[in-house]
């Protein structure tokens, strides 16, 4: 089982991004996804900066993947995806079918991110023929569905194994819109957003009228209100045949999460997940916001 | 440009056909389509009658098989494709790659449209579906501005259909898990958003509260109009302020940009609302038929008539309408 660090979902200042990746260089993480996946207007780092970070992390022994934009609306945005897909020597995470098309047309391999809609093994097999090497399961699928998909895939997919990655820790990416909700919350139109999302490095909490955390706003992206945490579900995830657990970067605490997950591979979870603000409902075939306590790991 | 109208049942289909639709879109009575609501859609016998009626009136029939099958019941989507092909419908609207692949391989004569749930917003994504499944048309997600739609028309490999009127999805369709996060059921997996079984209402001290799987979506004071608790239209708190954080209860109405849609070469305009009544379908179809006929009769003198907007507003969520993402300020 490997551990990956997903792309940073929020808009952080350039220095913060550099410091973040410097801080994880020596941590026990196997794969790092780099790049802007949410909003094309976020340009604190240029492509060259991401490439320099990629080199730094690769020299520390990390497998580096370049992630691409999820919602592509303008031709300029499509061009930025084309540029990333033209990078030699890096695996690409496709978050829109545009990147799947660009890579497969070149006969190059790719990884399908969580918003490439793969809900069954036939889709997985078709994309494997086109170059898919790894997929990140859509966050709304359950462990039970994953087990069924991977069982079916055994019969359908070619000899080479497809790697499966499961979003395991962080705010779940739930939706993308043309509208920037962060700008809207400040009374600004998207075309004059003033990059207000820089003020919200962990997103903005959305609460119901009785104070329940419902969603988190992150520009054009809407995330879960609760943090997804599958730490105690790791034995079950391993049993389904998944290969990689994804941790989504947060401004603080990511190092502790990495350590906890690494420890859990050795059956030693070390962070307290009884906290009600965590959710793991999707994995248990329930509403995503639910918190299922019937864990096996660490409970005797 | 084709007027594509919704039909959730036989009376609605008749209303669309009789009032000027060029095409109707319908679904089977199961989770293979994105309006899998109880009491809605067509069983095998009724769909035959529907196709016969529409075809007898030279109206095309498009069948939506546009959800994402999961492993346990993939055969249900297979059966839906087979049935649609055998009925000789004019096109199937699909989103899932395995469903498109099966349809393209098994029924090469069957015309395929990429559903809005396929979430293709750019020419490379469209090219993917054209190359592998020879789709003829794609329905665009409601995320592009009018300028972006125009630009895409310049390099799309397939015909484009856009949403013209109806309830407004504000997220990129096919890429929204908000409903499953709150209720466990989503458009992609179950063909529903904010499902009715999860809705509850509570009246307390004169305040009416709507909930979705126990999550408070809105509270209405006396005299306020209470709407269906679609979760993206709820009133929530951000930075201590209470408002419609994602969107107000409102409907899309593009009568104002109809001439533009003609000029840029859009192939079809779609009316949302398979879950709505036959009366709704009749009224919306009539207005849009009149508007399109008026433009075709004299494009230079086309004006949106007040009675059209009044009629459409009365059918809209929150009785207000918007151009949605077509208009940059909305974004």
The Cα B293–Cα B298 span in angstroms is 9
Q: What are phi and psi of A254, to 5 degrees?
A: -65, -35
The Cα B141–Cα B178 span in angstroms is 16
A88 is a domain residue: yes
Mean pLDDT of residues grouped by 10 in chain B (331 residues)? 97 98 96 85 93 98 96 93 97 98 98 98 98 98 97 97 94 97 96 94 95 97 92 96 94 96 98 94 98 97 95 84 93 93
Tell me which DSSP letter residue B230 carries.
-
Residue ranges per structural domain of chain B: 2-168+250-330, 178-243
Q: Give the DSSP H/E element, type plus range, for residue B148.
A: helix B146-153
- Inter-chain contact A177–B143, Cβ cutoff 8 Å? yes
Angle at A264 between CA A259 and CA A266, to 5 degrees: 105
A252 is a domain residue: yes
Q: Which pLDDT does position A299 carry in this prediction?
A: 42
A285 is a domain residue: no
Q: Which pLDDT does position B27 carry in this prediction?
A: 95
**pTM of model > 0.90:** yes
Which class for B154: exposed (0-12), middle (13-18), buried (19 or more C-beta within 10 A)?
exposed
Angle at B133 between CA B130 and CA B136, to 5 degrees: 55
Q: Which pLDDT does position A41 carry in this prediction?
A: 96
| Contact status, residue A114 vs residue B184, Cβ threshold 8 Å | no
Q: What is the dihedral of CA A170, A175, A178, A181, to 10 degrees?
A: -60
How distant, in Å, are the alpha carbons of A73, B26, B80, B177, B277 from that of B32?
A: 28, 11, 7, 18, 21
Instruction: Count up the domains in chain A and report the number.
Output: 1
Residue A195 confidence (pLDDT) above 90:
yes
The Cα B43–Cα B31 span in angstroms is 12
Beta strand ranges found along chain A (DSSP E): 2-5, 31-34, 63-67, 91-94, 110-112, 132-136, 163-177, 204-207, 213-218, 221-229, 244-247, 278-279
Residue A86 confidence (pLDDT) above 50:
yes
For strands B236-238 and B241-243, give the pairing: antiparallel
pLDDT band at A271 (very low <50, low <70, confident <90, very high): low
For residue B72, which residues of chain A lie inside 8 Å, CB to CB?
Answer: 148
Which class for B290: exposed (0-12), middle (13-18), buried (19 or more C-beta within 10 A)?
middle
A92-132 pLDDT per residue, tens: 999 999 999 999 999 999 999 999 999 999 999 999 999 99
Q: Which pLDDT does position A165 carry in this prediction?
A: 98
| CATH number of residue A61's parent domain | 3.20.20.70
How distant, in Å, are the alpha carbons of A136, A139, A146, A226, B282 from that of A287?
A: 19, 11, 16, 12, 37
Strand partners, A159: none
Instruction: Inform me whether the C-beta atom of residue A217 falls under 8 Å from chain B C-beta atoms.
Output: yes
A221 is a domain residue: no
Please, what is the end-to-end C-alpha distance for chain B in angstroms?
27
For strands A31-34 and B137-139, give the pairing: unpaired
* Best residue of B175, B187, B204, B247 to probe chain A, by most A CBs closer than 10 Å: B175
Instruction: Inform me whether the C-beta atom of residue B213 falls under 8 Å from chain A C-beta atoms.
Output: yes
Instruction: Inform me whether the C-beta atom of residue A199 falls under 8 Å from chain B C-beta atoms.
Output: no
**Three state DSSP letters for B24-39:** EEECECCCCCCCCCCC
pLDDT band at A270 (very low <50, low <70, confident <90, very high): low
The mean pLDDT value of chain A amounts to: 94
Query: Which residue in chain B has the smallest CA separation from A224?
Result: B181
Angle at A217 between CA A211 and CA A219, to 5 degrees: 160
Q: Give the CATH number of domain B2-168+250-330.
A: 3.20.20.70
The Cα A84–Cα A35 span in angstroms is 9
A35-74 pLDDT per residue, tens: 999 999 999 999 999 999 999 999 999 999 999 999 999 9
- Inter-chain contact B331–A281, Cβ cutoff 8 Å? no
A191 is a domain residue: no
The Cα A178–Cα A77 span in angstroms is 13
Strand partners, B61: B24
- State the residue range of the domain holding A105: 2-174+228-272
- Inter-chain contact A287–B170, Cβ cutoff 8 Å? no
Determine the angle formed by the axes of helices B278-297 and B306-313, rounding to 10 degrees: 160
Task: Give the number of C-alpha atoms closer than 13 A to the C-alpha of residue B191, restricted to the C-beta side.
Answer: 27
pLDDT band at A294 (very low <50, low <70, confident <90, very high): low
From A78, A181, A212, residue closest to B246, measured CB to CB: A181
* Best residue of A70, A101, A206 to probe chain B, by most B CBs closer than 10 Å: A101
- Inter-chain contact A288–B120, Cβ cutoff 8 Å? no
From B71, B189, B215, residue closest to A148, measured CB to CB: B71
Query: Which residue in chain B has the smallest CA separation from A208?
Result: B236
């Amino acid at each position: 089982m490997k551990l990956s660090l997903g792309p940073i979902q929020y808009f952080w200042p350039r220095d913060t991004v550099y410091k973040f990746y410097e801080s994880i260089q020596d941590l026990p993480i196997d794969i790092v996804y780099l790049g802007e996946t949410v909003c094309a207007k976020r340009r604190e780092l240029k492509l060259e900066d991401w490439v320099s970070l990629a080199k730094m992390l690769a020299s520390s022994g990390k497998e580096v993947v370049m992630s691409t934009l999820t919602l592509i609306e303008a031709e300029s945005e499509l061009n930025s995806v084309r540029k990333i897909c033209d990078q030699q020597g890096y695996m690409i995470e496709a978050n829109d079918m545009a990147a799947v098309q660009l890579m497969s047309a070149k006969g190059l391999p790719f990884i399908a991110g969580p918003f490439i809609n793969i809900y069954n093994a036939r889709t997985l097999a078709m994309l494997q023929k086109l170059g898919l090497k790894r997929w990140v399961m859509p966050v709304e699928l359950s462990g039970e569905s994953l087990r069924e998909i991977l069982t079916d895939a055994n019969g359908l997919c070619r000899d080479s194994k497809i790697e499966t990655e499961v979003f395991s820790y962080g705010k779940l990416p739930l939706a993308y819109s043309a509208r920037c909700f962060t700008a809207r919350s400040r009374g600004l139109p998207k075309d004059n957003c003033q990059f207000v999302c820089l003020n919200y490095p962990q997103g903005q909490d959305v609460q119901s009228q009785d104070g329940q955390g419902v969603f988190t706003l992150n520009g054009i992206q809407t995330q879960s209100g609760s943090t997804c945490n599958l730490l105690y579900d790791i034995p079950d995830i391993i049993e389904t045949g998944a290969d990689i657990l994804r941790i989504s970067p947060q401004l603080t605490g990511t190092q502790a999460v990495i350590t906890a997950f690494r420890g859990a591979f050795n059956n030693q979870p070390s962070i307290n997940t009884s906290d009600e603000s965590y959710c793991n409902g999707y994995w248990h075939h329930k509403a995503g916001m639910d918190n299922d306590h019937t864990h096996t790991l660490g409970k005797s | 440009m084709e007027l594509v109208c919704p039909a959730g049942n036989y009376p609605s289909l008749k209303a669309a056909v009789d009032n000027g639709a060029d095409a109707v879109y319908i679904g089977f009575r199961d989770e293979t389509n994105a309006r899998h609501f109880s009491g809605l859609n067509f069983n095998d016998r009724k769909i035959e009658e529907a196709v016969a009626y529409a075809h007898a009136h030279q109206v095309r029939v498009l069948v939506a098989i546009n959800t994402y099958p999961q492993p346990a019941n993939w055969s249900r989507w297979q059966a839906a494709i087979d049935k649609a092909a055998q009925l000789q419908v004019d096109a199937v609207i699909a989103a899932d790659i395995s469903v498109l692949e099966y349809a393209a391989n098994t029924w090469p004569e069957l015309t395929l449209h990429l559903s809005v749930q396929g979430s293709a917003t750019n020419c490379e994504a469209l090219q993917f579906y054209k190359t592998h499944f020879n789709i003829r048309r794609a329905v665009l997600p409601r995320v592009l501005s009018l300028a972006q739609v125009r630009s895409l028309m310049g390099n799309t490999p397939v015909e484009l259909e856009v949403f013209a009127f109806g309830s407004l999805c504000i997220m990129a369709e096919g890429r929204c898990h908000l409903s499953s996060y709150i209720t466990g059921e989503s458009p992609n997996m179950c063909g529903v958003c904010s499902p009715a079984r999860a809705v509850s209402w509570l009246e307390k001290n004169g305040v009416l509260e709507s909930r979705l799987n126990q999550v408070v979506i809105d509270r209405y004071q006396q005299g306020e109009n209470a709407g269906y608790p679609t979760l993206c239209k709820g009133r929530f708190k951000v930075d201590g302020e209470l408002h419609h954080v994602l969107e107000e209860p409102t409907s899309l109405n593009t009568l104002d940009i109809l001439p533009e849609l003609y000029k840029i070469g859009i192939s079809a305009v779609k009316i949302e609302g398979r879950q709505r009544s036959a009366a709704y379908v009749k009224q919306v179809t009539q207005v849009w038929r009149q508007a399109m006929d008026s433009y075709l009769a004299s494009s230079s003198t086309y004006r949106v008539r007040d009675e059209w907007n009044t009629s459409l507003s009365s059918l809209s969520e929150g009785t207000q309408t918007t151009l949605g993402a077509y208009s940059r300020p909305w974004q």
